[in-house]
Amino acid sequence: MEFTANQIAGFLNGTIEGDPTIKVSNLSKIEDGHPGTMTFLANPKYVPFIYTTHASVVVVNHDFIPSQPVSCTLIRVTDSYSAFASLLAMFNQTKATPSGISSLCFISPSAKMGSGFSAGAFSYLGEEVVVGDNVYIHPQVYVGNHVIIGDDTVLYPGVRIYADCVIGKNCTLHSGVIIGSDGFGFAPHSDNLYQKIPQVGNVILEDNVEVGSNTTIDRATMGSTILHTGVKLDNLIQVAHNVEIGENTVIAAQSGISGSTRIGKNCMIGGQVGIVGHIVIADEVKIGAGSGVEASIPQKGAIVLGAPAIEIGKARRNFIYWRKLDEIVKKVYALEKQINKSHE
């Protein structure tokens, strides 16, 4: 579909500088922009590209002041990054989405489907599954018995949802996601053998949760593993049994959260972070990439880094010292020699 700059500005509540009638039909990166596309400028590193881009329309912040003429039409908004995210969502909605239920899909007779439900080939829905309105299940998805799926949720190919789990409204589960596999629970015996502890709980994803590809969320031993409203998980994340993640917390790829840990609201956790079990992390905490969290973080809004994770300012100072460790050791050895000589 085509949109004029005037239509886009109206959608974003922005102001236009340039030709309001110019049309765009696609999106592009600012460095690779070409006529008929729209892009945005948010990061100062990309400012030089606004003078060379061939994109027809560029969304910029209100405070952007060009240092030389620009050939594109500008749409000024309060926050160009958020505005462009809204545009991406709008363009994505214009794409045709397959509808209907494949003849190669199995749906248990006891399952209940809402209006606008679609399911691809080789998908499976078990007994007493309840699915809301406008849910789209891609091919090769497994939905176990007694699962509940809310309205407007999308399950991409290869998603597996074990029995008794609950998925909220407007959730997105990307390919390879596994919801409700057993928590890692084994009781050690004196003979070095391990007895499996049955995992009889479930997983609850509240509304507007997004889970990246090949992420696994384990069912609780008892009770529920819970991801509250607005949680966003990247690819390749492990969430263990009985973990609870607060509203609007985001976690980057390859992180692992051990069992029974509680993470607060609005936290930001970088990639490859390891978090031990049975601890509590306060609201609005930020954890730097590669950190190892070994104890609770009770301070709201704390920023930590390192393994073990400590206050970020101290962690950075320690890193500077570590880089000079070889030099420091040589100085210590030299001082020792001088002291030993003075005692001879």
What is the rounded distance in angstroms from the CA atom of residue 153 to the CA atom of residue 168?
Answer: 8
Torsion over CA: 28, 29, 35, 38 (sign):
positive
Q: Are 173 and 190 in contact (CB under 8 A)?
A: no
What is the number of other CB atoms lying within 10 angstroms of the CB of residue 136? 18
Residue 36 is encoded by which pair of tokens? 């008929």
Q: Are 216 and 234 in contact (CB under 8 A)?
A: no
pLDDT band at 94 (very low <50, low <70, confident <90, very high): low
pLDDT (tens digit per residue) in 43-68: 999 999 999 999 999 999 999 999 99
Give the pLDDT of residue 98: 67
**Mode of pairing for the β-strands spanning 186-188 and 194-196:** antiparallel
Residues carrying an active site annotation: 241
Q: What are phi and psi of 185, to 5 degrees?
A: -130, 115
Q: Which pTM value belongs to this model? A: 0.85
Give the pLDDT of residue 197: 92
What is the rounded distance in angstroms from the CA atom of residue 292 to the CA atom of residue 294?
Answer: 6
Give the pLDDT of residue 8: 94
What is the rounded distance in angstroms from the CA atom of residue 27 to the CA atom of residue 3?
Answer: 11
What is the rounded distance in angstroms from the CA atom of residue 245 to the CA atom of residue 239?
Answer: 9
What is the rounded distance in angstroms from the CA atom of residue 85 to the CA atom of residue 82?
Answer: 5
pLDDT (tens digit per residue) in 80-93: 999 999 888 877 77
What is the rounded distance in angstroms from the CA atom of residue 131 to the CA atom of residue 146?
Answer: 10
What is the number of other CB atoms lying within 10 angstroms of the CB of residue 241? 26
For residue 297, give the amino acid letter: I
pLDDT (tens digit per residue) in 300-324: 999 999 999 999 999 999 988 888 8
